[in-house]
């Protein structure tokens, strides 16, 4: 009898996580209510208060929230094996769908119709990236001023294009500067006021 109950929990856990993986289109915010329904309302594996605490804790940790909640739920029910099964059951539908879609894209990539569709999408993506770059540049100029914005652009261009520095390192340099930007600005204003 205990084995039947145990296998029933495994089956319920697997099916619940597969459903949330398939139906949770749109990332974490769309999956959380589905997992809550399965864990709290349907199977009553935990209380609503406990789910709220787990959700808050999962939000504080890095990584996708749905897989963290699935891992916790599996671990709570069946230990490390349950966590592994819950995460795999949750991510497998998306992984299989992506593999199938990429296979279809590779198969159809030589089709003139698909090439025409891709050719039509490329300018749209270029415009969207251009608009995003323009908005970032506009924010930079508002936040740091025109002179400093042009200097930042020139530094980034030299580091990325002429010196071939890895983009991650350039981003880290600018993030470090950004962390101290307001302190430096306040010191410069204080010095200018002292000179007056």
Q: At what angle do helices 65-108 and 2-23 cross, to 10 degrees?
A: 60
User: In terms of C-beta distances under 8 Å and separation of at least 24 residues, what long-range contacts does 19-23 make, across chains too?
Assistant: 20/66, 20/70, 20/90, 21/89, 21/90, 21/91, 21/92, 21/93, 21/94, 22/93
pLDDT tens digits, 103-142: 887 888 788 887 888 788 888 888 888 888 888 778 777 7
pTM of the complete model: 0.54
pLDDT tens digits, 158-196: 999 999 999 888 888 888 887 777 777 778 888 888 877
Query: Among residues 162, 145, 9, which one has the least CA distance to residue 74?
Result: 9
pLDDT tens digits, 35-58: 998 999 899 999 888 888 888 888
Task: Give the confidence band of 3 by pLDDT, cuts at 50, 70, 90.
Answer: low
């Amino acid at each position: 009898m205990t084995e039947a109950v145990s296998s029933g929990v495994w089956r319920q856990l697997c099916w619940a996580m597969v459903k949330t993986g398939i139906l949770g289109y749109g990332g974490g915010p769309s999956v959380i209510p589905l997992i809550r329904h399965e864990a709290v309302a349907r199977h009553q594996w935990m209380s609503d208060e406990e789910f709220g605490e787990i959700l808050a804790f999962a939000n504080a940790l890095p990584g996708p929230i749905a897989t963290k909640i699935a891992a916790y739920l599996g671990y709570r029910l069946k230990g490390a094996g349950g966590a592994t099964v819950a995460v795999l059951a949750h991510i497998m539908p998306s992984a299989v769908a992506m593999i199938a879609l990429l296979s279809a894209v590779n198969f159809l990539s030589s089709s003139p119709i698909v090439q025409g569709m891709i050719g039509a999408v490329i300018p749209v993506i270029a415009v969207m990236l251009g608009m995003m770059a323009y908005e970032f540049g506009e924010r930079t100029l508002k936040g740091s001023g025109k002179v400093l914005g042009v200097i930042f652009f020139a530094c980034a261009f030299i580091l990325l294009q002429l010196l071939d520095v890895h983009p991650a390192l350039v981003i880290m340099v600018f993030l470090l500067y950004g962390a101290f930007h307001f302190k430096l600005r306040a010191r410069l204003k204080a010095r200018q006021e002292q000179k007056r």
